[in-house]
Chain A
C-alpha cells in the first residue's frame, strides 16, 4: 500500500473540512477566468459562513461555537489537504483575535462581516506609504496584497506612531479604495488604499494594540503551519501516485531511484515539519498564552520545507508540473504562498535572532 498521510488532528471537524475542501477544489478547477473564480469563491464563503466556520473559535456569548485552538486546527487540517482557497486562518483565527470583545465580533463569527486585516509588515508598492493616522485622525496610506474574504465589508488596520493603534473602518467608507486580485494559490487578495478615511472605532491602543497584533499573527502562523503539514502530506501522496502511473522507458517512473530518493527527501521534510508543528500545537493548547518561539521556529521551517517539497513535486511531475490544473500543483502553489503569510521566513528568523 502506498503512503497515506495521517492528519495531525483527526475527527469530525477534520472530515467535514476535508469533504468541503474537496468539493470546493473540484468546483474551482475548471474555471479559467479570474472573475468566474472570484464569483465561485464568494459562493463558497457563504457556504462556510453557513457552516459557522468563521465563528468556530469565537466564544458562544459572542455568537461563536466556543471551540478551542485544537478545534480550529482540525478545521485547517482538513481544509489544508485540499488547498482550500478561502482565508480560514485569517478569518477564523486572526480576525477574531484582533476584534476580541468588539460588537462586530458576532457578525464576523457569522461570516456576514468579511474583514481584511492589515498588520505590521503589510507591503506597499514602491513610492507608497504604509497606513498612518494624521493629526486630524484621518487615515492615509496603502497596503497591497492583503489576504481577505471575498468583497470585504470592513478593514482592521494597525497604524504605527507614537501611540500605535488598531483601528476598524468600513470598506465602503469615503476615502477607502479596494482592488481585488488573485494570489499564486488562487486566494483573493486586496490592495487597500486610504485617502483621508475616517476610522469607525479604535479596537486597541498602545501596548494592548501591539499585544493583540502579535497574538493574532502567531495564531495565524501556527494555523498556516497546520495547513502546510496537511498540504505537504497530500502532495507526497499525489506525487507517489503520479510516479506510479507514469510510464517512461517501458517502466513506471516509480522504479527510478533518483525519483524515489527525491520523494524520500520530501517525506523527511514532511515528517520534520509535522514534528515541529505538532510540538508547537501542543504548546499552544497547553500554555496560557500563545508560545511565540515554537511557532516562529515552525513557521521558519514551513518556509524552508514548503519550498523544498513544492519544487521537488513540480520536478517529479515533469512537464505536468508546469500546468495549472493538477491538484498536486495547486498544493505546491499553496505551499509556496504559505511561506509569506503571518510573518514569513525572514521575519521569523530576524525575530528569533534578535531574542
Chain B
C-alpha cells in the first residue's frame, strides 16, 4: 500500500469509530472507568458486523487481511476515539490457540462466538498454590467415559463473574516433570459443581474471583489438542497475553489524559513549579512509550510474518508495565491530596467515581498489578536472563 492509502485507511477507521461506537461506551472509556462485558460486548458485535471483528486473525477465520501498519493504525485510531480496546481473552488469547491447535469442530463451535462477542471467556490458570510457579497446578481432571471430571480451585480469575466459559489448565496425570501431564480444557461456567466468589482488590473494583470446581463434568471434545500437552498450548497463549502490551496506543492516550489532568488540577501561576515537575516526569514516560511502541510494531509484524517473537513479549511487558505505573503515579501525585483522602469502594454497576476524578486513585492502585499478573516482572527477568546468558 502507498502512503496516501494508509492515510485514507486512517480516515476510514476514524469515521467508522465516530459514527458507530456509541457515545455511552466512549464516555466510559474516556473517563477511565472499569470496562465490563456490558461495554465490550456490544462494541465487539458492531466491529464484527463491519468485518473488523478480528484484525489479528488469519483471513480465513474472520481476520481483516490488514498488514502490520494497518493494524497499528487501527489501534491508534481506536484509542484516539475512545473506543474500548477489544476484549482480550477470546480474541487474543484463546482464539489463536484454537486456530493453531484446535480441531475443525472446535473452530466451528468456538470461533464465531468469540468473533461476534456473544461468548465471554476467562482464564483459569492460577491457583492458590500455583502462581509464578504455574506448572505446580493441582486442579485435577480424571477421565470417566467421554467426560473429564474436574476437581480443584482456581483463583485470581478475572471476569469469571461475567463470563460464559473458562479456558482452564488442569492436571490429567502425574508425571516426572510437572510441566507434563497438564491439559487445556474449555469449561462452561454454568456447569453444575462450579462456585464463583468475588475477591476484593485494593482499587475497589470487582475484577477477580475464586472459582471452585467440585466434580465438574467436561465433555472430552472440550479438550484442546492432546491430553498432557496443555503446557505447550498454555505457554503459546501466555506469550500472546504478554503481547497485550504491544498495543501502545491506549497507553499514549492515558498519558495524554494524565497530562490534561495535571494542567487542570494544578492550574495557575502559584502551582507552576509543581506542574512543571509532573509534566517532566510524563515526558520521560512518553519517551519510554515511544521506544516501546516501536517494539510493539516489530511484535505485530513478527506475529503476522509467523516469525518467532523471541524476547519481545517479555521486554514489552516489562517496560510498558513500569511506564504505566509511573504515569499512574503522576496522576496520583496530582489528585492524591484531594482524592485519596476520600476513597470509596465501588459496588456493582454505575459510575465508579464519586467525587469525580477518583478513577485516578483507583487507577493508580490497579496499575500495581501490571508488574504482578501475566508473569510478574521478576519472572520476566528470569526469562530474559536465561536467554541472554545462554543458560
The residues of A with any CB-CB pair to B shorter than 8 Å are 1-3, 236, 240, 243-244, 254, 257, 260-261, 263-265, 267-268, 271-276, 278-279, 294, 297-298, 300-301, 304, 349, 352-353
Contact = CB atoms under 8 A, between A and B. Distances in A.
Contacts of B340: none
A227 B284 CA distance: 21
A301 B287 contact: yes
- B-side interface size class: 20 to 34
B174 interface: no
A304 B279 contact: no
A300 B279 contact: no
Nearest to A294: B290
Given A3-B388, A267-B388, A297-B287, 7 more contacts: A240-B389, A243-B389, A263-B388, A265-B381, A272-B288, A298-B290, A304-B287
A352 B290 CA distance: 14
B297 to A, nearest CB: 8
Contacts of A300: 283-284, 287
A60 B239 CA distance: 50
Nearest to A278: B294
B315 interface: yes
Interface of B: 276, 279-280, 283-284, 286-288, 290-295, 298, 311, 315, 318-319, 378, 380-382, 384-385, 387-391
B388 A236 contact: yes
Contacts of A257: 382, 385
Contact of B389 (A244, A278, A304, A353): A244
B280 A349 contact: yes
A2 to B, nearest CB: 4
B280 A353 contact: yes
Contacts of A265: 381
B291 A275 contact: yes
Given A236-B388, A301-B287, A349-B280, A261 B381 contact: yes
Given A267-B315, A275-B292, A352-B283, A260 B381 contact: yes
B294 A2 contact: no
A276 B291 contact: yes
Nearest to A282: B294
A297 B288 CA distance: 9
13 contacts: A2-B388, A3-B388, A3-B389, A3-B390, A236-B388, A264-B318, A264-B382, A271-B295, A274-B294, A275-B294, A298-B290, A304-B284, A349-B280
A275 B378 CA distance: 23
